[in-house]
């Protein structure tokens, strides 16, 4: 039994790290293309290094977002539930560790099989989100009466199916962002991004002319076109504003957070470090795409015809850097509005988490901008802020059986899937869950037997 756990832990270590997943797929693709050994080596290492760079930037962003959250809670006296994927997964591993690992491995196998034998050609490469979804599924299914083999098989099938099918749901929006069809959205906040794009399309007549990336600035403000500078200045404003309000409300908390530094200097340092993190993310993304997409041609041509990599939301940031900041701000405002609505109607305050509102809000802004320009970016991201407030609140009762009272999953897809499965199981028992699984299997395989003009489920390998 110990040997089995060691093996499972090894596979979990690989499959939960997108850097290694991307490197593995790049290696397979380059071998399939019969590239020389030195090109296989560099083509394998660059996506790994690129994702490690992206992760380092994301870590710097998260580290420097934490003080901003403390400033807001202290300054405005807000207490409640803070949605955080990493926190709830770490809590859940103590009771759901083995089930989560097995579901994760089965999910990857099912995703590859679906991509190989159906018209849903998307391979989900964001390993840490696959882990989060595996954890959610193990918790919800166990609370629904599933145990042992039925639990992990059902969870693995669900994970593999949604990993292959969710990117297809909004691929027509993703193509507007990337102006091509080389990558797909591989992030479990995707449904909110697609909704943001749909909301943004209200302003579709003005989309191209009024893109966030075409905002005109006077010559004296031309420096704002530098993404690092504009991000640093924008965040400095928010950090200073909230830091001053927090210091007025409780100087002791702010001074302790600053660790002896002047709180204004500390706030500015956090804001500028945040900007540095964003720049590191952009550079990592460029390194990933430069080698991962060409390597995927080998997988597409030789192994899984038409295969498309579904990648992390941060990979899309360089497509519309201005929309990233606009999306974050608009999503956070939506989260604040949603917090008061949920507090008044459900009796629980879902405090806007800086991490989900930055990463998900930024991506929602990018998708809204692609369909509706700057107005679409603002409104789409605002709606995203509402969605990632309501969904965690509705998911709380589903997870309460495990005692997860003070936190919940933050991104929208987790809420949709967890609530759907949990409510269905509560009403109809395990049979209801099997019905949903059967419907997904039918949707996955029916297009194989009919002619479809849909470009998102009818990809063919390049000639």
Quick check: helix, strand or coil at residue 311? strand
Look-up of token digits 């591993």: 93
Query: Torsion angle, CA of 205/317/282/57, rounded to 10 degrees?
Result: 160
CB 354 within 8 A of CB 65: yes
Residues counted in the chain = 463
Parallel, antiparallel, or unpaired for β 308-311 and 184-185? parallel
In this predicted structure, the answer to whether residue 9 has a pLDDT above a threshold of 80 is no
Query: What are the pLDDT digits (tens) for 379-410?
Result: 999 999 999 999 998 888 877 765 555 667 88
**Predicted pLDDT at 461:** 41
Query: Torsion angle, CA of 145/149/154/160, rounded to 10 degrees?
Result: 140
CB 156 within 8 A of CB 110: yes
In total, how many domains does the chain have? Answer: 1
Higher per-residue pLDDT: 120 or 87: 120
**Predicted pLDDT at 463:** 35
Higher per-residue pLDDT: 93 or 390: 390
Does any domain span residue 298?
A: yes
When pLDDT is averaged across residues 180-203 and rounded to a whole number, the result is 92
Does any domain span residue 165?
A: yes
Quick check: helix, strand or coil at residue 121? coil
From CA 232, how far away is CA 270, in angstroms rounded? Answer: 9
When pLDDT is averaged across residues 140-147 and rounded to a whole number, the result is 85
The token pair that represents 153 in the structure block: 């098989």
Its domain, for residue 119, covers: 2-457
When pLDDT is averaged across residues 263-275 and rounded to a whole number, the result is 90
Sheet with 308-311, side-by-side order of all strands: 122-124, 308-311, 184-185
Query: Torsion angle, CA of 22/26/29/32, rounded to 10 degrees?
Result: -130
Does any domain span residue 42?
A: yes
Higher per-residue pLDDT: 274 or 267: 267
Does any domain span residue 418?
A: yes
From CA 388, how far away is CA 252, in angstroms rounded? Answer: 32
From CA 304, how far away is CA 39, in angstroms rounded? Answer: 22
Query: What are the pLDDT digits (tens) for 21-78?
Result: 878 888 888 888 888 998 899 889 988 898 888 788 878 877 887 787 788 778 877 6
Quick check: helix, strand or coil at residue 376? helix
Does any domain span residue 463?
A: no
CB 55 within 8 A of CB 368: no
Query: What are the pLDDT digits (tens) for 204-259?
Result: 887 777 888 887 756 665 555 666 787 788 788 888 988 899 898 888 988 888 88
Output the furthest CA–CA distance in the chain (Å, rounded): 68
For residue 325, give the nearest of 114, 61, 42, 87 by alpha carbon. Answer: 61
Does any domain span residue 462?
A: no
For residue 272, give the nearest of 233, 246, 225 by alpha carbon. Answer: 233
């Amino acid at each position: 039994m110990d040997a089995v756990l060691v093996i499972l832990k090894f596979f979990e270590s690989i499959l939960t790290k997108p850097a290694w997943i991307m490197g593995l797929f790049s290696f397979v693709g380059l071998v399939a293309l019969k590239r020389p050994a030195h090109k296989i080596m560099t083509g394998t290492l660059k996506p790994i290094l690129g994702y490690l760079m992206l992760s380092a930037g994301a870590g710097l962003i998260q580290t420097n977002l934490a003080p901003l959250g403390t400033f807001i809670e202290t300054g405005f006296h807000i207490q409640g539930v803070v949605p955080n994927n990493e926190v709830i997964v770490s809590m859940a591993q103590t009771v759901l560790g083995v089930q989560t690992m097995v579901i994760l491995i089965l999910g990857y196998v099912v995703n590859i099989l679906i991509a190989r034998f159906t018209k849903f050609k998307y391979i989900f490469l964001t390993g840490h989100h696959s882990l989060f979804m595996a954890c959610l599924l193990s918790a919800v299914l166990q609370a629904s009466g599933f145990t042992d083999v039925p639990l992990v098989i059902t969870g693995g099938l669900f994970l593999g199916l949604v990993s292959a099918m969710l990117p297809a749901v909004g691929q027509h929006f993703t193509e507007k962002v990337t102006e091509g069809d080389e990558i797909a959205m591989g992030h479990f906040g995707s449904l909110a991004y697609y909704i943001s794009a749909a909301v943004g399309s209200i302003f579709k007549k003005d989309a191209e002319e009024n893109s966030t990336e075409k905002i005109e600035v006077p010559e004296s403000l031309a420096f704002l076109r530098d993404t690092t500078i504009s991000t640093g200045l924008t965040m400095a404003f928010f950090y200073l504003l909230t830091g001053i309000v927090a210091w007025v409300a409780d100087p002791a908390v702010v001074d302790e957070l600053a660790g002896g530094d002047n709180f204004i200097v500390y706030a500015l340092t956090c804001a500028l470090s945040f900007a540095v993190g964003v720049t590191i993310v952009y550079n990592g993304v460029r390194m990933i795409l430069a080698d991962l997409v060409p390597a995927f041609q080998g997988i597409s041509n030789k192994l899984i015809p038409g295969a498309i990599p579904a990648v992390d939301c941060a990979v899309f940031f360089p497509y519309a850097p201005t929309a990233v900041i606009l999306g974050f701000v608009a999503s956070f405002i939506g989260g604040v509005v949603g917090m008061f609505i949920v507090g008044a109607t459900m009796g629980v305050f879902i405090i806007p988490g800086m991490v989900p509102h930055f990463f998900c809000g930024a991506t929602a802004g990018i998708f809204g901008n692609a369909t509706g320009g700057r107005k679409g970016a603002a409104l789409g991201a605002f709606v995203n802020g509402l969605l990632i407030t309501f969904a965690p609140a509705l998911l709380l009762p589903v997870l309460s059986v495990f005692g997860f009272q003070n936190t919940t999953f933050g991104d929208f897809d987790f809420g949709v899937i967890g609530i759907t499965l949990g409510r269905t199981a509560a009403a109809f028992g395990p049979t209801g869950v099997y019905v949903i699984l059967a419907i997904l299997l039918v949707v996955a395989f029916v297009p194989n037997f009919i002619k479809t003009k849909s470009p998102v489920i009818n990809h063919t390998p390049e000639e």
